[in-house]
Amino acid sequence: MSKGVALNAARMKNRNIRRVMEELRISPFSRSQLATRMGLSRAAISSIVDSLIQENVVIEGDVIASNTAGRSRTPLFWNSDAFFCVGVILRRGYFGVSLYKFDGTLIYVERKNIDDSYSHASHILADIYKMIDGAIIKYKPKGRLLGIGVGAPGPLNAKAGVIENPTNLRILHKTPIIAPLHERYHCPVVMANDACAMALAELSFGVKDRYNNYFVLEVTGGIGGGLVLDQKVIRGAYGNGNEVGHSTLNIFGERCQCGNVGCAELYATVDAIVQKAHKYNSKLKSWKDIVDAAEAGETFAADVIKEEAFYLSSLCINLLNAFEIQAILLSGIEICYQPYLLIQMIQEQIPGRLLLKKNRKIDILPSSLDENADALSAANLAIDNYLETFEVESY
């Protein structure tokens, strides 16, 4: 066998190994189920699974007896105790740290507000170190440290590991993140735009393989987006993904901190819409207040939600006309509070404004991730990086 043929064979083997790991992330499957799903022989699957068990990253569950005359089956699982990973959360207004098991089970999460006591990025990094060190000492997670994932608002340079100049987060402008974490913890460190990280977490732990093409629209104190095409997150050249919050909604609008005019973030963030509502009704101090008031029959509150639906539907139309996606997932703890009135209003806007209407069903739904989605999405970057580079020498 030539060297080139042998190299291609090795690449194919490791690609199949990663595919098995990705399949088992979706759900526990037996060897025969994996063979059917992947189109490989049972012998090939057994060889891969045996090597993964030998590497201690996959374990066998209890045998499940067949209801028919067929064979019983043994489900396979990721070994949650093989590794643990760290998530570093950097957001507008707060930062945090999380610990997760290899299979995405939460061990610990802590967040801190960025207040006046933080005058420099180094102070935030110092507290991040304390939080990581303290959590590892306290919880003593099993396995070795797989890596650290950092989810941060853009613009950033994921390859260089530097946060550039995100709006409303000036304290972290031009801050190196990957290098100091790698130097301290001696493990792989991966950084990505927070909305891209959220889309990846949806792919791994949320909607999984329900859709091949979708967009995660994150609405918080900023607006971000993560695009998934053919089950792959589109991160872009520098890891910024899709900064839809800085696409123009009003060509005659104010100039945004980013330099553009009439950005969506000026109108459609939770903060922007709540501030506007509060001016007219001092009782409306949060998005929850607005939703509760609308459901209680207050016309003004319902009109506020309708205005937000108009802004978000405009973003959705742009996305749907640019990409043939099947669904848009609305993400953000506040915006996803009892979201069905907002989603209904968005859905009512779309049909008359969509270019390709015929035989096209668009799902708009809230994220299926829980209130710790920011923590999971950051830590999951380390898991995903491991899978991308995973090889088994014994196979």
Maximal C-alpha separation, the chain = 77
Can you give the CATH number for the domain in which 283 is found?
3.30.420.40
Q: Are 358 and 218 contained in the same domain?
A: yes
The tally of domains found in the chain comes to: 3
Cα 236 to Cα 196: distance, rounded to the nearest angstrom: 10
DSSP state of 254: P
In a domain, 349, yes or no: yes
Q: Are 66 and 96 contained in the same domain?
A: no
Q: Are 229 and 330 contained in the same domain?
A: yes
pLDDT in tens, 115-124: 989 999 999 9
Q: Are 120 and 267 contained in the same domain?
A: no
Contacts of 79 (CB under 8 A, 6+ apart): 56, 57, 58, 59, 102, 103
- pTM across the whole model: 0.87
Q: Are 246 and 137 contained in the same domain?
A: no
In a domain, 319, yes or no: yes
The domain of 379 spans: 83-198+374-389
Cα 48 to Cα 37: distance, rounded to the nearest angstrom: 14
Residue carrying structure tokens 């989605």: 373
Can you give the CATH number for the domain in which 14 is found?
1.10.10.10
Q: Are 250 and 268 contained in the same domain?
A: yes
Q: Are 46 and 128 contained in the same domain?
A: no
Cα 265 to Cα 92: distance, rounded to the nearest angstrom: 13
Strand 156-157 relative to strand 162-163, pairing: antiparallel
In a domain, 203, yes or no: no
Q: Which of 78, 102, 122 is the last residue of a domain?
A: 78
Contacts of 196 (CB under 8 A, 6+ apart): 226, 233, 234, 235, 239, 240, 241, 242
Q: Are 73 and 97 contained in the same domain?
A: no
pLDDT attached to residue 69: 55
pLDDT in tens, 157-207: 888 899 988 877 889 999 999 999 999 999 999 999 998 999 999 988 988
Name the burial class of residue 156, with classes exposed (0-12), middle (13-18) and buried (19+) by CB atoms within 10 angstroms of its CB: buried
- 8 Å CB contact between 173 and 165: yes
In a domain, 394, yes or no: no
In a domain, 395, yes or no: no
pLDDT in tens, 99-149: 999 999 999 999 999 998 999 999 999 999 999 999 999 999 999 999 999
In a domain, 251, yes or no: yes
